[in-house]
Amino acid sequence: MRPLIFLFIVVLVGCTNINSGVQAPPNSFRFGDLIEVPGASKEYLYNLAMIHLAKTYVSSSSVIQYASQEHGRIIGRARMSVTVHDGLVSTLSSYSHSIDIEVVDGKVRYYYDDFSLYRPAMYVNELLAIKEEVDDLKIEMRRAILSPSAPLKP
């Protein structure tokens, strides 16, 4: 019995490929949207986007790579975890993605793209889980811009 358990563990560990980042094919998926807020200033929308990043990511200061209120641009790279369901097994997996937010008077355009996946053995299920996660991020971004919890002066 012990040799069977040992063999099972060896096969299980051998088939697991941890921390081997796999870059998704270029432009395989890019999620984004344009949010229009008539009458809102660029500064107001920029501040809402920064607040959204601070509330969404554990350490927004490590996520944001470039931020310029003058140019209305925020660019960052984030790493997140997602639960991947594969039949009877659920595992926690990691992925990273870039964030690009452009702000002008009355409009916010944002994109989530450049995804890197960790654990390619579950590639298809991971893509589905990440898509669901990004759909939630899109909803949160829209909610943060259109109905902020703490109103700022537009």
Q: Where are the domains of the chain?
A: 17-146
User: Does 90 score more than 60 pLDDT?
Assistant: yes
pTM of the model: 0.67
pLDDT band per the 50, 70, 90 thresholds, residue 119? low
**Distance from the first to the final alpha carbon of the chain:** 70
What CA–CA distance (Å, rounded) separates 118 from 23? Answer: 9
pLDDT band per the 50, 70, 90 thresholds, residue 63? confident
User: What would be the CATH architecture of the domain defined by 17-146?
Assistant: 2-Layer Sandwich (3.30)
- Arithmetic mean of pLDDT, 15-33: 56
